């Protein structure tokens, strides 16, 4: 009998196991079309693997940022020290321009054209699903192009906030990032003196702390957002996971819900997922998310 909630450390160990053989794109597309053929209303749950084709790396994949020693800043670290916020925003000034310039890829366009897709729950904060006109998108972990005040809930444009940061820190020479991260962080090192001199622009309304409007590690997804996802899922006749290892519970909860309500689950991913580790019955398609474009093409000619 599988555990109710497996620890993240145990899940991470399980994700290092050998994956099943990768399918060719055409075979993978046909397998997905066969699974979708009996469905009328499917919820898609997408992860970082959907956006790697846009140049935004994932965390846990073979070329993921975790493989290069990256550890994203946690919610408590960001709020706990001014120095941490200075480091975050100084690095973000280098990395965000490349992140913001990313364009939708074949996976985004393909998913938007699959008629059975009724809603998309995405772990990504890049806004690329919305860019191609996908309807009923829930950005589970927020939006990287927005900022929010932690005291008065003021919301604003991240681009405008970055302009304030640059104006408040004329001494900082902003260059292209040497390595882009999934959270728009950048692989840039600063000296203690540089961070001490960096001024973190406060909320223009109340003077408090501004944070990207995304769910950092250690934070929780707003309850209303989770409930909206559950509402979509409860009306669906299938769950399609694309490009996600499902390692974090914030996303895995929807697979768990689908399993407990006997909702068919299909997972399109390269490598093992938490569903595999926890022994949840799924239809597994071992292939990159780009095959969603081929799936849409096959469905259009049926």
Q: Which residues pair with 266 in a beta bridge?
A: 240, 283
Whether the CB-CB separation of 230 and 255 falls below 8 Å is answered with no
Whether the CB-CB separation of 9 and 278 falls below 8 Å is answered with no
Question: Is 108 a residue of the active site?
Answer: no
Q: Which residues pair with 121 in a beta bridge?
A: 45, 138
For the chain, how many residues are written? 302
Strands 265-268 and 238-242, by their bridges, are parallel
Is residue 229 a known part of a binding site?
Answer: no
Q: Give the Cα separation of 193 and 183 in Å (integer).
A: 25
Is residue 266 a known part of a binding site?
Answer: no
**Structure tokens given for 32:** 């997905």
Three-state SS for 77?
helix
Q: Give the Cα separation of 268 and 68 in Å (integer).
A: 25
> If residue 26 lies in a helix (H) or strand (E), which one and from where to where?
helix 25-36
Whether the CB-CB separation of 45 and 258 falls below 8 Å is answered with no
For residue 43, count other CB atoms closer than 10 A to its CB: 27
Q: Which residue among 94, 108, 129, 141 is the active-site one?
A: 141
Of 140, 104, 103, 107, the closest CA to residue 124 belongs to 140
Binding residues for Zn(2+): 149, 152, 203, 206
Binding residues: 149, 152, 203, 206
Catalytic residues: 141
């Amino acid at each position: 009998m599988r555990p109710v909630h497996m620890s993240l450390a145990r899940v991470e160990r399980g994700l290092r196991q050998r994956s099943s053989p990768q399918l060719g794109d055409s075979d993978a597309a046909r397998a997905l079309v066969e699974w979708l053929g009996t469905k009328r209303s499917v919820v898609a749950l997408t992860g970082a693997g959907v956006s790697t084709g846009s140049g935004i790396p994932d965390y846990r994949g073979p070329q993921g940022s975790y493989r290069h020693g990256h550890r994203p800043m946690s919610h408590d670290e960001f709020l706990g020290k001014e120095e941490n916020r200075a480091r975050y925003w100084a690095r973000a000034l280098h990395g965000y321009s490349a992140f913001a310039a990313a364009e939708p890829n074949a996976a985004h366009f393909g998913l938007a054209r699959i008629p059975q897709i009724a809603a998309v729950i995405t772990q990504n904060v890049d806004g690329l699903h919305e860019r191609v006109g996908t309807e009923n998108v829930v950005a589970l972990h927020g939006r990287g192009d927005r900022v929010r005040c932690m005291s008065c809930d003021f919301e604003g444009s991240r681009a405008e906030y970055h302009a304030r940061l640059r104006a408040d820190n004329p001494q900082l020479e902003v260059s292209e990032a040497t390595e882009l991260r999934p959270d728009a962080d950048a692989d840039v090192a600063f000296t203690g003196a540089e961070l001490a001199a960096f001024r973190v622009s406060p909320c223009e309304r109340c003077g408090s702390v501004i944070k990207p409007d995304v769910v950092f590690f250690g934070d929780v997804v707003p309850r209303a957002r989770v409930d909206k996802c559950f509402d979509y899922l409860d009306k669906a006749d299938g769950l399609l996971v694309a490009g996600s290892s499902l390692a974090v519970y914030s996303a895995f909860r929807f697979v768990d819900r689908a399993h407990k309500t006997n909702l068919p689950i299909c997972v399109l991913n390269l490598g093992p997922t938490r569903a595999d580790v926890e022994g949840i019955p799924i239809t597994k398609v071992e292939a990159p998310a780009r095959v969603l474009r081929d799936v849409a093409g096959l469905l259009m000619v049926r």
